[in-house]
Structure formats: structure tokens, C-alpha cells
Amino acid sequence: MFIDNYFNDHQHSISFTRDHASTFAKSIADDFNPIHDHDAKRFCVPGDLLFSIVLAKYGLNQHMEFIFSGMVMDGVELILPEDLPHLVIRDQKEKEYLTIERSGHNTRDEKLIQNLTRSYVAFSGHTFLQMLVPLMAENKVMINPVRPMVIYASMSIDLDRLDISAPTLVTDHTELELVGKRGNALLTFNIMDGGEIVGRGQKRMVLSGLREYEQESMDILTSSYIQRKEDFTG
């Protein structure tokens, strides 16, 4: 599968180079979060890359929930657990990074898995500009423009059936719960196939260091993000 190009497969474990993670973020997810830059001091492997590998390794279940508990750095070797409904991804030192709960029917259909993976990653990669920026403006808050911090907390998908072929994701609604200087963002979506809703899902993110919304600062932040993308695409 296409995802094989973005990690090192050691049979019972996986690891990543900075090039793997950064190229996936920019080329596949269209995600230009500085934390995924090859030379970032606070570098982190994209959560969407972990999601994609889990589907490739364990198949797609009707009901799946991914809970992220740690940031994966380059060079960290993650142990692949036994194929069970409850999966916990840890490194060789037993540090936990990801928990997956699975239920319902399972499929190993490579075409379906690849199509859903690409659709979800494309949706997820556009989170910042298309969903979080309007959500912050609506709630009159914003992240620190000098040191922006947005953390991928969890995601889930719920499919009515698995006899689908070309699923696409369409945003349903977004919410932002404010707790002091922290914001809990909920981004929900419908999964479509052939013009019909065949499933639903949601992505949760944590926004840290919130402050009062300033249009000029937000404009600079979004312009910088767009410029990074233009520099990459040429």
C-alpha cells in the first residue's frame, strides 16, 4: 500500500525518520503544522500517519476509536501488539502512545482501506485553516501565534456497513469548549459513499495557551501557514 513509503517496517515493530513523517504530512495530508517540519525542535510524527498504519496493519473495523497519549519522535520504535479488539501501541520502554478500540466487522480490502485512509487524512490535514481558524474567531479566542500548540487528542469512525468502495468525508459541525486557557475542539463529519451517508466520525483536538482573539495576529498566523504550503508546492 502507498503508506509503506512512510515508515520503517521491522515485522513486529515500526519506526520513522523525520523525512518519513514530514513528507507524509506535507505531500499526503496537506498539513503544514511546523511541528512536522524536518528541522523542528519539537518534532512529532503526525497522528494521521499512525492512524493510516494501524488500518494497513490491522484492517478496518466498523467501529474504531483512536486515543493519542504521547507524541512520537523520530527514531522511536513502536511495538505492534497482537491483533485484538483492544490495541495499545507502546515503545520498547513501555511508554504508551496510542490506544485503539475496535468492534464490529473487519475488512482487509486494500482498495477500501486506501480510499478511506486518503479521504480521512485529507479531511484531517485541512483542520487548521478550514475548521479551527473559523471556530476560534467565532469564540473570540486564539492560540499563541508565536508558539502555536494544537494537540491531536482522539478520533473515531462509525460505519454502518463495509460494502462500500469510495468513501469521502464531509464536515457536519464543529464545537469549541473553553476551559480557562485551554480549548477542546470537536470536529464531526459524515462518511459518504455514492451520495449516501454510510457512517459518521469525529476528531478531537486540544488548543493550549488561548488568549483574546486579535484579527491582525491571526491574519499573520494564517498567512504564514499558507506561505509555508506555497513554498513547498512551488
pLDDT single digits (tens) 49-66: 999 999 999 999 999 999
pLDDT, tens digit, 9 for 90 and up, residues 35-44: 888 888 888 9
C-beta of residue 165 within 8 angstroms of C-beta of residue 159? no
Given a contact cutoff of 8 angstroms between Cβ atoms, the answer to whether 107 and 113 are in contact is yes
Strand partners, 15: 8
Total number of domains constituting the chain: 1
Start-to-end C-alpha separation, the chain: 27
Q: How far apart are CA 140 and CA 117, in angstroms?
A: 33
**Which cell goes with 43?**
518534532
Question: What CATH code is carried by the domain that includes residue 117?
Answer: 3.10.129
Q: φ, ψ for residue 46 (rounded to 5)?
A: -60, 135
Among positive and negative, which fits the CA dihedral 95, 122, 16, 146?
A: negative
pLDDT of 207 > 80? The answer is: yes
Q: List, for residues 165-205, the tens digit of each pLDDT value.
A: 999 999 999 999 999 999 999 999 999 999 999 999 999 99
Range of the domain at 184: 2-233
Spatial separation of the C-alpha atoms in residues 34 and 170, rounded to whole Å:
26
pTM, entire model: 0.93
pLDDT of residue 166: 93
pLDDT digits (tens, 9 = 90+) for 219-230: 999 998 888 888
Model confidence at 115, pLDDT cuts 50, 70, 90, reads very high
Write down the pLDDT at residue 38.
85
